[in-house]
Each structure stands twice: as structure tokens, then as C-alpha cells.
Amino acid sequence: MSAATAVAGALQVAGVALAPLAAGVVQHLKGRLQGRRGPSPLQPYRDLRRLSRKSGVDVAGSGPVYRAAPAVVAAATLAALLVVPVAGHGPGWGLGHDAVTLVGLLALARFATALAAWDTGSGFALMGAARDLAFAVFAEGVLLLVVALAARQAGGSTDLLALADAGAGAWADPSHWCAALAFALVAIAETGRQPVDNPDTHLELTMVHEGPLLEYAGRDLALLTWAGWARLWLVLLLGVALFAPAAGSVLAGLAIAAGAVALLCAALALTETALAKMRILRVPLFLGGGAALCVAGLAGATL
């Protein structure tokens, strides 16, 4: 194993600890942009500490699936973190680096969340889970189209390492712009940010990703909340891997990655301040726009 791979592997694991920071930074910036002081960027860590000291609470009538779900969700998200390379490198961890594997791991987390919602029988949890699964139907299709389009730049490879190498020089190609834009749309839906979902909502009827978390407490909730933050971190890293310029050395690569993640966090804070949440039934149309972009990009690339 080369030094670069070792560093990247260490950073993938460090993502476990860094993921809450990205979410905290977005919240902090958002507060500033909205004229508030906003929570400290470290607030997610305080939340985790608070939750980790509390005991779990079972929902009456629920069973082993409800209990196991937080661990499965967090494990699938963690495994997905290990699949995404950092600064163009990664040790693989026996999981490989394939984009489709990543899609599968995220689906596993979604499935476990939905089953937990069914196990509680709670209307709000199921409402959120049903919406999440319905959006995922469209999001998965578009995500695969983005992968197909990005893979053209890497000689047809869906290896994230190859994609990270190839994504940098491709900006002269209009199809790459289509892929980047479509990826942005999917990323918003996948991470549950505005305008698809409002991560700050406390109104049960509007919840998508938060709904199934309502019935959890203590460390279970800590794991699920962490998984939500980790998914944001993961999608940011994926965006960086696919679309940020590649660097010669690992150090430069890390600097670029850090800068790009910070930039994306700021962009998220800005869009979340400027855009209101859209009607739930319009989300598929929003994602359909991504699909149209990809097909147009693909047609453009082959003509």
C-alpha cells in the first residue's frame, strides 16, 4: 500500500468524525445568511454527546427490526463512506470502489429505515419513509444516468478511482456540465436538503427524511442522525471526486478536496436560504429535469 492510499484510507475513516462538522458548518452559515447568529459549527458533536448519554426507548409493539435498524443504517452508510475515494485514492477495504455498489449501500440504509417505520406503525414515520422511497425511485434512475455519463469520460469505467482521475480534464466537454448539473439535483434529493426536503423542520406532516427518526431516542437516534450527516458528507465527497480538478500530489489533492467541500457547504447554505421547499409532488419533476439533462448530454457526446 502506498503512502497516498494509506492517507486516503485514514481520511475515509476520519470522515466518521468529520461528517457532523460539514453539517454543522452548513447550519452555522445558514444562520448567518439569515441574519441570525446561528448554532456553533460544533453543535452536531454536542448533540451526539447528549444523545449518547441517554437510554433508548422502544416503541410499544415493535420488534427486533426496529431495534436493529439504526445499526444497519449506520453500517451501510459507513461502508458507503469507505467506497468513496478521498483525493483520488482509497484502499478499497475489500469493498471495491464501484459507483453502483455505492448506490446499493444507500438503498440498504433506506430499506432498513422503511422497515423500522413499518415496525413502529407510526403514521408520521411511514409518511416520511413512503415519500423517501417514492423519491428514490426517480433519484436512482437519474443517479445511474449521471454515472453512465461520467463514465464516458473515464473510458467507460465506473471505478470511482478512474472517474476521479478523468473528471478533472473533461470540462471542455458540454456533456460533463450536464452530468454535473444533474448530479447536483440528485445530490439535493439524496441528502434531503432544500428545496426537496427541509432538514430543520419540526412539523411532522412535512417530514421526509426526519419522519422515521421521530420514534427513536438515545444512542439509536445518535446513530441515525449521524448517518444522515454522513450521507451529506458522502455526497459532497462524491461530487468532489467526480467533478473537482485532480491534483498531482496527495497533499494538493487534499487541499483541493477540502476547499471544494467548504465551497459546496457554502453553496448549500446559500440555496437553503434562497429557496423554499417545493411541493412534494413536484420533486419527481425536479429529478426528471436531471434525467433530461443526462439524456441530452449523452446524445450530445455521441453525435
Partner 1 sequence: MTALLLAGVATLAVGMLAPSLRSTTGLALPAQAVGAALLAAGGVWVLAADAAVGAAFSSEIRPSLGLDALSGFFVVLVGACAAPALVAGRDALRDSPVRRPLAVLTGGFVLALAGLPAARDVTTFLGFWELMTLLPAAAILVARRERAVRDAVFVYLAVTHIGGAGVWVAMLLLAQHGALGGTLAPGGPAALVTVAAIAGFGTKAGLAPLHAWLPRAHPVAPAHLSALMSAVMLKVALYGLIRVLFEWTAPTAAAGYALLGLGALSAVGGALYALLQGELKRLLAFSSIENVGIVVLALGAALVLEGPWSAIAFGAALLHAANHAAFKALLFLGAGALSDAVGRTDLDRLGGLLRRMPWAAGALLAGCAAIASLPPLNGFASEWLALHALLEVAAGDATGQALAGAVSLAALGVTAGLALMAFAKVAGMALLGAPRSAEAATAQDAPAGTRAALAALAASCVGLAAATGPLLHALGGLHPAGGAPGPALAPALPGTGGLPPLGLLVVLALLTALLARLAAGRGRTAAAPAWACGQPGDPALAWTSAGFTKTLRLVLEPALRPQREVTTRTRGAVVTEIAHRAETPHHFDTLLYRPALRASLRAARTARRLQSGSLRLYLGYLLALVLVLLALVRLEVLA
Footprint of partner 1 on 182-221 (CB under 8 A): 204, 214-215, 218-220
The radius of gyration of the chain from alpha carbons, rounded to an integer in Å, stands at: 19
Query: Would you call 195 helix, strand, or coil by DSSP?
Result: coil
194: alpha, beta or left, given left = phi > 0 and alpha = psi -120 to 50? Answer: beta
The CB-of-126 to partner 1 minimum distance in angstroms stands at 5
Q: Is 104 in the site for partner 1 (CB under 8 A)?
A: yes
Phi, psi (5° rounding) for residue 209? -75, -30
Interacting positions 10-49 with partner 1 (CB under 8 A):
none
Among 2, 34, 42, 63, binds partner 1 (CB under 8 A): 63
Query: Please, what sign has the CA dihedral across residues 128, 130, 135, 136?
Result: positive
Applying CB under 8 A, which of residues 61, 172, 200, 248 lies at the interface with partner 1? 61
Among residues 19, 26, 139, 293, which is the contact residue for partner 1, using CB under 8 A?
139
Smallest gap from Cβ 231 to partner 1, in A, equals: 15
86 φ, ψ (degrees, to nearest 5): -110, 130
Residue 142 vs 187, nearer CB to partner 1: 142
Beta-bridged to residue 89, according to DSSP, are 86
Number of other residues whose CB lies within 10 A of the CB of residue 196: 25
Q: Select from 4, 25, 87, 145 the one that contacts partner 1 (CB under 8 A).
A: 145
Q: How far apart are CA 80 and CA 83, in angstroms?
A: 5
Grid coordinates representing 181 are 448539473
Stretch that binds partner 1, among 2-10, 39-47, 148-156, 261-269 (CB under 8 A): 148-156
Span of 20-28, 108-116, 242-250, 252-260 interacting with partner 1 by CB under 8 A:
108-116
Per CB under 8 A, does 118 bind partner 1?
A: yes
